[in-house]
């Protein structure tokens, strides 16, 4: 019995060591980017990105918690606009602010999560004309502290965020092309 217990402890310690080594080998920054071509000029797309009150039309996060509390700052669009949310475990809590708004080519947002984990992220949307369409690119860059890298050994955070971005961009495309 003692031998079985010692073997189990050794396997557990070995597994923890492997996870920690793998986490240490992960980059300390995560960058996720997705793009989509939308059959509309940038001038038609940009207002849906630049105005936080328009995000329910396309954001993949807006409807995950029907009881989510939203707070808009004095301005909801353009540079200086702010938006905060507090919701269930699917969306957590946090706030964001538009730090740069260059209509109709792009905008930058500081995104801060308070829950489930404190993280600071830089978000960029760029809109580039492509004939009769516009290529919309959504990019997020986040610092990855060691705890996040341990989590990333088990869960592909980049894929999860990328899947959400793809869903949001598809909804944006639908909203713009139907509207």
- Give me the average pLDDT of each 10-residue run along the chain (179 residues): 84 79 74 96 98 95 92 94 95 96 97 89 97 96 75 76 96 93
Q: How far apart are CA 22 and CA 136, in angstroms?
A: 34
How many other CB atoms are found less than 10 A from the CB of residue 13?
A: 10
Q: 28-178: CATH homologous superfamily?
A: START domain (3.30.530.20)
- Secondary structure class of 63 (helix, strand, coil): coil
Both tokens assigned to 12? 């557990």
pLDDT for res 116: 84
pLDDT for res 29: 77
Q: How far apart are CA 35 and CA 136, in angstroms?
A: 5
Q: How far apart are CA 159 and CA 33, in angstroms?
A: 10
> CA 136: distance to chain centroid?
15
- Residues 141, 29 contacting (CB under 8 angstroms): yes
DSSP letter, residue 54: G
- Residues 148, 157 contacting (CB under 8 angstroms): yes
pLDDT for res 27: 73
Q: Which of 77, 133, 62, 135 is nearest to 107 (CA)?
A: 77
DSSP letter, residue 52: G
Determine if residue 127 is left, alpha or beta; phi over 0 gives left, psi from -120 to 50 gives alpha, anything else beta: beta
pLDDT for res 38: 98
pLDDT for res 74: 94
């Amino acid at each position: 019995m003692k031998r079985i217990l010692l073997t189990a402890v050794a396997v557990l310690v070995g597994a923890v060591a492997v996870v920690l080594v793998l986490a240490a080998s992960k980059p300390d920054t995560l960058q996720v980017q997705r793009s989509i071509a939308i059959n509309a000029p940038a001038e038609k797309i940009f207002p849906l990105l630049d105005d936080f009150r328009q995000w329910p039309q396309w954001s993949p996060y807006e409807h995950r918690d029907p009881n989510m509390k939203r707070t808009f700052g004095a301005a909801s669009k353009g540079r200086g606009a702010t938006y905060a949310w507090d919701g269930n475990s699917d969306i957590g809590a946090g706030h964001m602010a538009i730090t740069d708004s260059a209509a109709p080519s792009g905008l930058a947002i500081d995104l801060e999560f308070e829950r489930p984990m404190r993280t600071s992220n830089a978000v960029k949307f760029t809109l580039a004309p492509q004939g009769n369409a516009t290529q919309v690119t959504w990019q997020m860059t986040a610092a990855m502290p060691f705890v996040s890298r341990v989590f990333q050994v088990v869960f592909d955070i980049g894929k999860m965020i990328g899947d959400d971005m793809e869903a949001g961009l598809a909804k944006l495309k639908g909203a713009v092309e139907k509207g």
